[in-house]
Amino acid sequence: MSDLDDSDAGSDFAFGDSPVKPKAKPKAAATATKAKAKPAGQAANGNGSSSKREGPSVEEIYQKKTPIEHVLLRPDSYIGSVEPIDEEMWVFDSTTKRMAQRTITYTPGLYKIVDEIMVNAADNKARDPTMKRIEVTIDRENGVISIQNDGKGIPIEIHREHDAYVPELIFGHLLTSSNYNDSEEKITGGRNGYGAKLCNIFSTEFIVETADANSQKKYHQVFSDNMHKIGKPKITKHATKKEYTKITFKPDFAKFHMTHLDDDAIALITRRVYDLAGCVDGVKVFLNGEAIVLSKGFKSYVELYLLPPSNSDEPVSSKSPDIVYKKFGDRWEVAFAVSEGQFKQVSFVNSINTSRGGTHVNYIADQITKKFIEGVKKSKVTIKPHLVKNNMWLFINSKIANPTFDSQTKETLTLRVSAFGSRCEISEDFMKAVMKTELKDFVDMMVKRKEERDLKKTDGTRTSRITGIDKLDDANLAGTKHSRDCTLILTEGDSAKTLAVAGLGVQGRDKFGIFALRGKPLNVRDASSSQIADNKEFSNIKQILGLKHGAKYTSTEQLRYGHVLIMADQDVDGSHIKGLLINMFDS
């Protein structure tokens, strides 16, 4: 018996149903023989229809793909869309040396395969704390990208179970990973055994280099034709103790409906290089041979979004918002700034840019929101959580144990907070700094706008007819052209109203209206806007008189009544009621 060739061996990994058993063909032949024996005009299946299949064959309908073919056929399941899209994104502006948010045309799939190799390089820091350097080179002219990191290399030895060198397994065999042991806490980005292999599959050429001090060997291997062709590894001696891993690849631009690396793609990839420089602590990051200098680490990275351009003549304080930054332990860095009316976030989990946020962002945002509201409880205003969050801009750099995401594109963290492997309790000093920012001013402004809208809902109008107000006897001419001649009598309770009604028997009801008060009116000077808006007595008086919130009156022409008469007892309570009513009108 001859040995299995590569295609036979690859079927172990193929998706779909198992192959059809050999006995199926004789059985089909026997059925066909029986069918021939039937009378003319009768179909083989016995129901009068033709036995000949029309349209595509079963082989054309039911197909079995290899894993590589499946990735190429359904890329959106692995790397996102391979169609160019227009989207507002943060990119690095090489002119201003700052992050800029603008609409770019890019292909998510291309961005993702580059990102996978970058995250691999950053992951090595978690495996080897002595790692000090990441180098990214973008060869725009030839469409080639290389990413190299120092620190511990990949073991250059043959995996006995799979009879292949470990570097080949890692970069050239799908579903191979060192991250499958979920009982072991790992703060890396890799998880599912796809990662770098996806970059290999979507590249016309993919080169792996690594140096292993233990075996004193250097490894070099070339993959091509979307990982279909695997070159023979070249292994040479490596006498020094310096280890590294370098990946060089040329994306298959045709698969991304592209021809080259354009300005938008380079601006986006450059931003990801800056992401690494800000997120991977203790590592120098180089882009095209030039060091990216972020002297204060993640805080300097945050400033790229918030400070004015480096070539600006204006002082920093004139344009930049306050930044509140703090490092919480060795796994969390949080920065806060004020956002005007819309929640914003820039977050990372193990160097992965979680562009859509997730549980880690909610974890921090909810704490800040809750503590902020608690800090302003002494004020009269009632603050809803969304008003705080909508004026918040968070920057989070987190290291999460064994993270889980919504998909292979890893845009949203889904892991529950209790499984993070660490906690980040927002401290009192952090919140004190937050309280000193413009957040309170913005929230107060939003609250005031909402309260004004609520108060306007209770506004009255000059109308000749009002219904639905209990204890009101409206003047017949109120709200008409004779409104200025009408008087509203506000009585202290129902007993005073009875007396007033008796008096109307003499004066008549055309120009006099009566409204009985229920106890003492609200002291609007000490009440919050929401309390005033919710006070039915206050709202009723506004409706009866036709008063509008915030309006300044120089005459009574816009009102339903030209005069107000307060009919209260001549005692302390009566005087208090008169004062509260006058106070209400004055406010």
Read off the tokens for 284: 């120098």
Let me know: does 334 contact 424? Beta carbons within 8 Å: yes
CATH of the domain at 240: 3.30.565.10
- Tell me the pairing of strands 164-165 and 158-159: antiparallel
76 is a domain residue? no
pLDDT digits (tens, 9 = 90+) for 346-359: 999 999 999 999 99
Q: Which residue has the tokens 């209400």?
A: 584
Asked if residue 30 has pLDDT above 70, the reply is no
Let me know: does 198 contact 177? Beta carbons within 8 Å: no
Higher pLDDT, 201 or 45: 201
Higher pLDDT, 21 or 450: 450
What confidence score (pLDDT) does residue 520 get?
Answer: 82
Q: 265 with 393, same domain?
A: no
Q: What is the 8-class DSSP label of residue 557?
A: T
Asked if residue 40 has pLDDT above 50, the reply is no
What confidence score (pLDDT) does residue 209 get?
Answer: 98
Q: Provide the mean pLDDT of the chain.
A: 86
Residue 363 phi/psi, 5-degree rounding, is -60, -45
What confidence score (pLDDT) does residue 73 get?
Answer: 94
Across 92-96, 309-313, 580-584, least confident range: 309-313
- To 5 degrees, how large is the angle CA 359–CA 365–CA 367? 105
65 is a domain residue? no
Read off the tokens for 459: 């506004």
Q: 478 with 398, same domain?
A: no
Q: 429 with 467, same domain?
A: no
What confidence score (pLDDT) does residue 535 get?
Answer: 84
- Tell me the pairing of strands 284-287 and 217-224: unpaired
Mean pLDDT score, 576-580? 90
Q: For residue 203, give every residue at least 6 positions away whose Cβ sits within 8 Å of its Cβ, in sequence order, or none.
A: 113, 223, 226, 227, 249, 250, 251, 252
Whole-angstrom distance, CA of residue 409 vs CA of residue 78: 7
Read off the tokens for 269: 């990839």
**Rg for the chain (alpha carbons), in Å?**
37
Asked if residue 122 has pLDDT above 90, the reply is yes
What confidence score (pLDDT) does residue 312 get?
Answer: 56
Read off the tokens for 576: 């208090």
Residues spanned by the domain of 527: 457-586
Mean pLDDT score, 315-327? 74
Q: What is the 8-class DSSP label of residue 396?
A: E
Question: Is residue 491 within a helix (H) or strand (E), and if so which, with residue range?
Answer: strand 487-492
Q: 281 with 153, same domain?
A: yes
What confidence score (pLDDT) does residue 51 get?
Answer: 57
pTM: 0.74
Q: 204 with 266, same domain?
A: yes
Read off the tokens for 539: 């709202």
Indicate the residue among 448, 476, 493 that finishes a domain. Answer: 448
Mean pLDDT score, 143-153? 97
Whole-angstrom distance, CA of residue 496 vs CA of residue 500: 6
Question: Read out DSSP for 88-127?
Answer: EEEEEETTTTEEEEEEEEE-HHHHHHHHHHHHHHHHHHHH
Residue 185's pLDDT band, with cuts at 50, 70 and 90, is confident
231 is a domain residue? yes
The residues facing 102 across adjacent strands are 89
Indicate the residue among 279, 296, 313 that finishes a domain. Answer: 296
Whose CA is closest to 493, among 521, 458, 532? 521
Mean pLDDT score, 376-397? 85
Q: 371 with 351, same domain?
A: yes
Higher pLDDT, 230 or 5: 230
Q: 435 with 339, same domain?
A: yes
What confidence score (pLDDT) does residue 337 get?
Answer: 97
Whole-angstrom distance, CA of residue 564 vs CA of residue 428: 53
What confidence score (pLDDT) does residue 498 get?
Answer: 85
pLDDT digits (tens, 9 = 90+) for 431-486: 999 999 998 888 877 777 777 777 777 677 788 888 889 889 999 999 999 999 99
Asked if residue 186 has pLDDT above 60, the reply is yes
Question: Read out DSSP for 13-43?
Answer: G--SPPPPPTTHHHHHHHHHHHHHTSPTT--
Let me know: does 311 contact 93? Beta carbons within 8 Å: no
9 is a domain residue? no
CATH of the domain at 359: 3.30.230.10
Whole-angstrom distance, CA of residue 276 vs CA of residue 544: 65
Mean pLDDT score, 208-217? 96
What confidence score (pLDDT) does residue 252 get?
Answer: 98
Q: What percent of the chain has a predicted confidence (pLDDT) above 90?
A: 59
H-type alpha helices, 139-252: 166-172, 195-201
Let me know: does 289 contact 273? Beta carbons within 8 Å: no
Q: 331 with 387, same domain?
A: yes
Residue 183's pLDDT band, with cuts at 50, 70 and 90, is low
Mean pLDDT score, 193-209? 94
Indicate the residue among 448, 476, 509 that finishes a domain. Answer: 448
Read off the tokens for 499: 């007396």
* Greatest distance between any 2 Cα atoms in the chain: 124
Residue 45's pLDDT band, with cuts at 50, 70 and 90, is very low
Q: What percent of the chain has a predicted confidence (pLDDT) above 70?
A: 86
Whole-angstrom distance, CA of residue 249 vs CA of residue 200: 8
Q: Which residue has the tokens 């009585």?
A: 491
153 is a domain residue? yes
Read off the tokens for 168: 């080949």
Asked if residue 50 has pLDDT above 60, the reply is no
261 is a domain residue? yes
Mean pLDDT score, 162-184? 82
Q: 487 with 526, same domain?
A: yes
Whole-angstrom distance, CA of residue 563 vs CA of residue 467: 21
Whole-angstrom distance, CA of residue 67 vs CA of residue 63: 13
CATH of the domain at 512: 3.40.50.670
15 is a domain residue? no
Whole-angstrom distance, CA of residue 357 vs CA of residue 349: 10
Q: 249 with 104, same domain?
A: yes
The residues facing 432 across adjacent strands are none
Across 316-330, 347-361, 532-546, least confident range: 316-330
Q: 413 with 333, same domain?
A: yes
User: Total structural domains in the chain?
Assistant: 3
Whose CA is closest to 211, among 263, 146, 167, 162? 167
Cα atoms in the Cβ-side hemisphere of radius 13 Å centred on 201: 23
What confidence score (pLDDT) does residue 208 get?
Answer: 98
Mean pLDDT score, 564-575? 88
Residue 55's pLDDT band, with cuts at 50, 70 and 90, is confident
- To 5 degrees, how large is the angle CA 333–CA 79–CA 63? 150
Q: 207 with 154, same domain?
A: yes
Whole-angstrom distance, CA of residue 321 vs CA of residue 303: 10
431 is a domain residue? yes
